[in-house]
């Protein structure tokens, strides 16, 4: 069971009673005429995430983890990945501004502070700077990353960050960013750090971005778990959550598709 699954189920068990992680998911359609009970809604979300998990499931991710990319291919991957990493703190900041729940807003403020400074995790660098360190370790210059041109699917993912956090409701943003994005990281980025060291000869310091996110995003995704389970209780809200979650999962998969096709 992934960290995300454990987080959602733990929250449900604490507030609503025991839930089964193995019960069959509901229909794969986004719209339903009646609200699902919390247990059924959790199963539905978990099934959707498992079916479209990019980190750990996409062919390009598996090639990267297996050491199958050339140094030039790894560099091209790093440029595109950096471009979305650079924009991600702004998405978290927009979520904070749009959050109507004081307790969750405090947690999001901590997430923004960590993204922009690294002072909660102790890395003491903005997370995009950590990724620049990784890019430089694989042979890129800072300017090659900061001045990189996004592929169409990279631009679409970045645009989705803005749309989901600024033009949709807060709960939809939580589903798109915390659940579908950060929720995929734990259990995937830590092992990737070790694979990068093993296959590409990188130091522990060079893969710090991946290690930091293994822990930090586990904490960040808790915000989305709590918000969605606690507040998506009517059919209309659950439909919007499914739509935002699915759109985000698709955007991440297509982002990796775009890189794979280009390298």
For the residues 198-211, what does the mean pLDDT come to? 97
Model confidence at 218, pLDDT cuts 50, 70, 90, reads: low
- Whether 28 shows a pLDDT value over 80: the answer reads no
Which CATH number fits the domain that encloses residue 194?
1.20.910.10
113: domain range? 3-15+36-262
Does any domain span residue 237?
A: yes
For the residues 225-239, what does the mean pLDDT come to? 85
For the residues 233-237, what does the mean pLDDT come to? 94
Cα 210 to the center of its chain, rounded Å:
12
Does any domain span residue 205?
A: yes
Count how many domains the chain has: 1
pLDDT at 17: 45
Cβ–Cβ under 8 Å, residues 124 and 117: yes
Model confidence at 226, pLDDT cuts 50, 70, 90, reads: low
Cα separations in angstroms, 248 against 96, 233, 259: 19, 21, 17
Q: What percent of the chain has pLDDT over 70?
A: 84
Model confidence at 47, pLDDT cuts 50, 70, 90, reads: confident
pLDDT at 131: 98
Residue scoring higher pLDDT (125 or 47)? 125
Does any domain span residue 28?
A: no
Model confidence at 219, pLDDT cuts 50, 70, 90, reads: low
Does any domain span residue 23?
A: no
Does any domain span residue 197?
A: yes
Residue that has been written with the tokens 């901590």 in this structure: 110
For the residues 16-29, what does the mean pLDDT come to? 42
CA dist., res. 68 & res. 62, Å (int): 9
For the residues 77-100, what does the mean pLDDT come to? 97
Task: Please give the torsion angle defined by the CA atoms of residues 244, 213, 14 and 247, in that order, rounded to the nearest 10 degrees.
Answer: 10
Does any domain span residue 27?
A: no
pLDDT at 31: 63
User: In terms of DSSP H, where are the helices of the chain?
Assistant: 3-15, 38-51, 59-65, 71-98, 102-117, 127-137, 142-146, 152-166, 170-173, 189-200, 208-231, 235-262
Does any domain span residue 179?
A: yes
- Whether 3 shows a pLDDT value over 80: the answer reads no
pLDDT at 225: 59
- Whether 106 shows a pLDDT value over 90: the answer reads yes
pLDDT in tens, 158-172: 999 999 999 999 999
- Whether 249 shows a pLDDT value over 80: the answer reads yes
Does any domain span residue 31?
A: no
């Amino acid at each position: 069971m992934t960290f995300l699954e454990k987080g959602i189920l733990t929250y449900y068990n604490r507030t609503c009673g025991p839930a089964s992680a193995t019960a069959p998911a509901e229909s794969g359609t986004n719209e339903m005429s009646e609200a699902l009970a919390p247990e059924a809604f959790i199963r539905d979300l978990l099934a959707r995430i498992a079916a479209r998990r990019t980190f750990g499931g996409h062919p390009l991710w598996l090639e990267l983890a297996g050491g199958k990319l050339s140094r030039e291919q790894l560099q091209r991957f790093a440029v595109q990945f950096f471009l979305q990493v650079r924009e991600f703190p702004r998405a978290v900041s927009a979520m904070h501004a749009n959050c109507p729940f004081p307790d969750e807003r405090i947690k999001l403020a901590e997430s923004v502070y960590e993204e922009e400074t690294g002072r909660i995790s102790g890395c003491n660098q903005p997370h995009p700077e950590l990724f620049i360190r990784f890019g430089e370790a694989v042979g890129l210059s800072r300017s090659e990353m900061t001045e990189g041109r996004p592929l169409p699917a990279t631009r679409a993912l970045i645009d989705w960050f803005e749309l989901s956090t600024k033009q949709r409701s807060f709960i939809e943003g939580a589903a798109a960013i915390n659940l579908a994005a950060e929720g995929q990281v734990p259990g995937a980025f830590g092992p990737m750090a070790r694979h990068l060291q093993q296959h590409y000869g990188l130091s522990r310091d060079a893969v710090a971005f991946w290690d930091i996110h293994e822990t930090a995003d586990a904490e960040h995704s808790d915000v989305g778990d709590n918000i969605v389970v606690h507040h998506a209780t009517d059919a209309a809200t659950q439909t919007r959550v499914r739509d935002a979650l699915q759109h985000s999962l698709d955007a991440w998969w297509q982002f990796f598709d775009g890189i794979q096709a280009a390298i």
